[in-house]
Structure 1
Amino acid sequence: MLRILGSNRRACDALSRRDMIQAGGASLLGLGLADLLHANEGNEPQLTRGFGRAKNVILLFLYGGVSQLDTLDPKPGAPEDIRGPFSSISTSLNGVQISEHLPKLAKMADRVSLVRSMTHPYPIHGVAFATTGVKHTDIPMELNRDDSRHWPYFGSVLDYLHEVDNPNAPQPAVPATMHLPWVQSSRSGPHKRSGLLGGFLGPRYNPVVAEFVGDATNPRTYRPNDPYGGIKQDCRFEIQGTGLPNGLTIDRVSTRSSLLDQFNTSRRDLDKSKIGSSLDRFRQLAMSIIASPRLSEALDVSKEPAPLRNRYGHHLFGQSALLARRLVESGSRLVSVFWDEFAVFLRHVGHA
């Protein structure tokens, strides 16, 4: 688990690299954070086993999703009133069984790090605890993503450390850290879950969100037309605020950007503030996105062959996972795909 040293409220310019990472202790799904940061530094002997160091990561975060008893931890030896309702099957990993509904995963279980021991002491889902490693949390803090006590999402830490190591590097055409298919929990109620933003590093390091735009096709979900039950073929994903108005060309945008750079240079007090720094980074990122076709091409999932799209599943989560793959292939380092509790609370009845 990522351990952030020092007070939770220290300013980001007071944080050192040692403050951000405790060597050997930062890991998620078996991938060390240090491995992500130094994936390109090479010159070390390659291990004879394993897949090597991770250069890119796709995180499938099933918040409010399927039960572990129905999938990876069916507990076949437990009493009937405890174990899952489905049968278990053997896997390629000796002694490990999973749900009968995951036969393809069972065949490659020897290539998977299966962790069944993760827990936390809080009577809540603990999203912030899982994604940031924050030591202390509570319900009000969990439901307030802007609480100043929050630690940064681990993808935000990657962005911060990359910027520290490369202070003069331009913003990438494809954001390094992205979230799909919208701001998590934003469609289910007034509370947006915590642990997914820049935390005490500030909004400058918030992940970029690619939002789903489209119509659902399944009226028989708990709430009619839940996109997680099925979506139309013409669905798309877009970054809000990066489209060009009619009549505005890239050249005109570049000219305006140059003028804005000159204006901002004369406002050094604003540039030195956290808000000014965040605005400047977002503007540079928006310019990179607008000026390059790489991101818009990656966001266009319609370019994938129809059979392949169907294999991913023609529902919101499946197409989001497909997009995550396209983004990684285009340059993103960490793409998080969230299963949202989009009005499906009653489906949890009888589940652990």
Structure 2
Amino acid sequence: MRDFGISRRDMLKSSGTGLGVLGLAGILANEARSAPVASANPLAPKVAHFPAKAKHVIHLFMNGGPSQVDTFDPKPELTKQHGKQAGSAGLKTERKTGALYKSPFSFKKYGQSGIEVSEIFPEIGACIDDICVVRSMHTNIPNHEPGLLLMTCGNTQPIRPSMGSWLTYGLGTENQNLPGFVVLCPGKPVVGPALWNNSFLPGVFQGCHIQNLDPKKVIEHIRNTSVSASTQREQLDLLNQLNGLHKDKRGSDDQLDARIQSLEIAYRMQTEAQEAFDVNREPVKIRDAYGKGYFADACLTARRLVERGVRMVQVFYGSGQPWDDHGEVEKGHRAKAKDSDKAVAALLRDLKQTGLLDETLVLWGGEFGRTPTSEGASGRDHNNHGFSVWMAGGGVKGGMTYGATDEFGFAAVDKKVHIHDLHATILHLMGIDHEKLTYRYSGRDFRLTDVAGTVVKDILK
């Protein structure tokens, strides 16, 4: 852009728009791996392949891997055989484990469906008639990094776009003043930004990671205190004209396309972002129903975002791998359940009361499960052979269980569901044929489900 005596880089750096959000992941382009955007607005709502059951996804990610036999998959035989060696039921785990270890928690039947839920989740149990528990999940590797990546991106390596990126690429988003894909996590989980990255998809589809839910700090420098909104608009229009001239001379510039979109989103977010993230605008009764703490506020924020048209919200329980209880599973799981049970149930009730549950798919679960055998005296190791997740709303049948693990809860044996099947089902509920949502990169067509995935039709309404 030297014709104007200033480079494009210098213009971006010196522009008076005050858009410090250019450093925010998910709004900035992933410049190294962007791809051309055909539409003038790639986040504009798009027509689905077929009528959708759901419009939004809220993924409550219990990162670290909660134990299925201590939460939603009761195993009476495990209690009977407590202390004995697993024998023929034994499958390879990440580390050598000990004898069979019964759940320290009791299970109780809830709702008209009579589904058994662990004592540590009484509030979620009370919502069980709206929930479908999938007890036959399995994944590839009993290790956090590949497990997290497969659950979020459909691949065990950090080379593919995340599910939220695929959803916004395929469907756009309903609110142009907010990102289409928002990630709420206080800090970073294991692996970090690769879990919500856009990879080879255009940069505008990357997840927007929010760590601080204080509305005044949720996005640094979102407000420009130096110039008015109209002046900012004029500056941004001029910048876009200059960038347009640059494109005309040099042809398609993937990095520039994504940056232009990031500037536009950052400008528009000034009008709505702080209000959307301010849970203090909710009635005291609603805030009290969710409880206190980051996770509670994140669940309430997730509801506020989907009701404003955000396509996908991913809520990580915490930074690192908090559900990874290799020791003292009773103490660890009880504490985390106490911290999250009330908030999750409040979210389900809130969505149902407002009518949003019909169009919002809620997914709860971790990257894998845990062994029914002990690690040390009272912990559990990683287990990829069998675990549980549950879904509610968005076209999923409530009050049912699907599939089963063996008598000890070690491996899925009936109606097995792989992560690719879960992803195919989620896309189907959103009106997307998972085999047709593709993006051509490096000479081949890629998709979230790779070359696998079968929709689990039995759980659909």
Is the Cα contact below 8 Å between 1:236 and 1:299 reproduced in 2?
no
- 1:15-49 residue CA offsets vs partner (Å, 9 max, x unmatched): 9xxxxxxxxxxxxxxxxxxxx9639x75xxxxxxx
Contact 2:108/2:118 (8 A) holds in 1? yes
1:163-202 aligned within 5 A: 172-182=176-186, 184-185=188-189, 191-192=191-192, 194-202=194-202
Match of residue 130, structure 1, among 144, 147, 151: 151
Unaligned runs of 5+ in 2: 1-32, 39-45, 83-99, 328-378, 382-461
Q: 1:58/1:70 Cα in 2 relative to 1: closer, same or farther (>3 Å)?
A: same
- The residue that corresponds to 1:60 in the other structure is 60
Q: Percent identity?
A: 28
Secondary structure class of the residue paired with 2:105: coil
CA distance in 2: counterparts of 1:77 and 1:93, whole angstroms: 25
8 A Cα contact 2:62 2:323, kept in partner: no
Give the structure with the higher percent strand. Answer: 2
> 1:237–1:204: structure 2 CA closer, same or farther, 3 Å change rule?
same
Which residue of structure 1 lines up, in the alignment, with residue 232 of structure 2? 253
Could you report, residue by residue, the CA deviation over 1:101-133 in whole angstroms, capped at 9, with x for unpaired residues? Answer: 223332332321211222222131211111222
Matched to 1:173, the amino acid is N
Residue pair 2:185, 2:211 contacting (<8 A) in 1 also: yes
Q: 2:115 aligns with which of 77, 93, 96?
A: 96
Say if 2:310 is the partner of 1:335: no
Q: Do structure 1's residue 318 and structure 2's residue 301 form an aligned pair?
A: no
Helix, strand or coil for the counterpart of 1:105?
helix
Aligned length: 269
Please list, as runs of the form range in 1=range in 2, the aligned pairs for 1:161-240 lying within 5 A after superposition: 161-162=170-171, 172-182=176-186, 184-185=188-189, 191-192=191-192, 194-212=194-212, 238-240=218-220
Pair 122,211 (structure 1): closer, same or farther in 2 beyond 3 Å: same
Task: Please show how residues 61-76 of structure 1 align to structure 2 within 5 Å.
Answer: 61-64=61-64, 66-76=66-76
Q: Give distance in 1, aligned partners of 2:265 and 2:307.
A: 19
Q: CA deviation at 1:241?
A: 4.5
Question: Take 1:13 and 1:254, find their aligned partners in 2: how far apart are those partners?
Answer: 25
**Contact 1:127 / 1:194 at 8 angstroms: preserved in 2?**
no
Alignment of 1:263-342 (within 5 A): 263-268=242-247, 272-290=252-270, 292=271, 294-342=272-320
Residue 108 of structure 1 is matched in structure 2 by 127
Mark the CA change 1:57 to 1:341 in structure 2 (over 3 Å): closer, same or farther: same
Q: Secondary structure of 2:192's partner?
A: coil
| CA distance in 2 between partners of 1:110 and 1:57 (Å) | 19
State the AA in 2 paired with 1:201. L
Q: Deviations over 1:276-313 (max 9, x none)?
A: 122111111111112x2x33211111112233223212
8 Å contact 2:64–2:324 — kept in the other structure? no
Alignment partner, residue 25 of structure 1: none
Alpha-carbon distance in structure 2 between the residues aligned to 1:323 and 1:237: 15
Question: TM-score of the superposition, structure 2-length normalised?
Answer: 0.52
TM-score normalised over the length of structure 1: 0.66
The structure showing larger relative contact order (alpha-carbon pairs under 8 Å, at least 6 residues apart) is: 2
C-alpha separation in 2, matches of 1:296 and 1:271: 37
> Where does residue 48 of structure 1 map in the other structure?
none
Could you say which residue in structure 2 is the equivalent of 1:7? Answer: none
- Is contact 1:237-1:300 (8 Å) kept? no
Sort the Cα spacing of 1:106 and 1:118 in 2 relative to 1 into closer, same or farther, 3 A.
Answer: same
Bigger radius of gyration: 2
